[in-house]
Amino acid sequence: MAESSNSITEKVRDWLKSQGYPLEMSVARAFRRVDANVQQSSYYLDPETDKSREIDVRAKWYRFHETMWGQIDLQVFFLIACKSQQKNPWILFSSEPKKKNAFVRLPASPHGRMLLDWFRADKTKSIIDISDHVSYGITQAFTSGKDLPYEAVMSAAKAAVAEIVYHNRLHELYKDKFDKDFEISLDSVIAIPIVVTDAPLFDCYLTEDDSLILDKIESGILEWHYLLDDNASHFGTPVYICSDQSLDDLANYAKNLESQLYEFLPTFLNKIRERLKNNEKGT
């Protein structure tokens, strides 16, 4: 009886691994370790079909900054699709020179996009990207069937855009109920799509003499130009592609980015106030 029970246990364990559950659990644990609010098997409304879809991991930070005359909320979401049991390598295609600072075009609310733009323009801030590898395409080697990288990228991108679409609808619905005790009240929401895989990752590009280069990498950024919602995704979005071997680096990057954005909130709020005052003078 004990031998039969052990056999069933091993079969269940093997099945769980084949379905990718351990990877999802590892990703969620990595983000909880850096104090993110984490949901697993979260659902969102597909921005194209309006149907309910599942995203593997949804991590969030929420903080706010307040002064005598203004307040600003900051919500940073990380929407993560996980793909495990991927023995065949994933290949990211890039061109020279590599582009950087892709996160400025992330799905964001109107104030969230302004925050990203001004954060990027502030020369005192060091912009951190998870990778120098910014690519225009992705594929899986040695396959001719289901396009798993495309499926994962679409899942993460749609979940991120859906987060902003949902927020924008709420903002429009309750805009007259925002706190009237402040001269300025802002809400900045940013959503970052991520794909984590246990597949080997490679960066592929041509040199000036047309030599084909393949570099083994731990992470990369895909410039995903698929248009889901103009108001949320700003004509496409970067999607972060990460190896399961760099989960701690990914979680620390997420926490570091959120912290830098939070530290920038007082500057951002002051810039908004100055702009409003200049507009009043102009009228």
Tens of each residue's pLDDT in the chain, 283 residues: 455 667 888 888 777 777 667 899 999 999 999 999 999 999 999 988 999 999 999 999 999 887 776 788 899 999 999 998 778 999 999 876 555 555 567 899 988 988 988 888 775 655 556 666 678 899 999 987 678 999 999 999 999 999 999 888 887 776 666 555 556 677 899 999 999 999 999 999 988 898 999 999 999 999 888 776 555 555 678 899 999 999 999 999 999 999 999 999 988 888 888 877 776 666 5
Q: Are 41 and 258 in contact (CB under 8 A)?
A: no
Six-digit token pair at 168?
A: 């924008």
Domain residue ranges in the chain: 2-282
What SS3 class is residue 124?
coil
Count H helices, E strands: the chain? 6, 10
pTM of the predicted protein model? 0.88
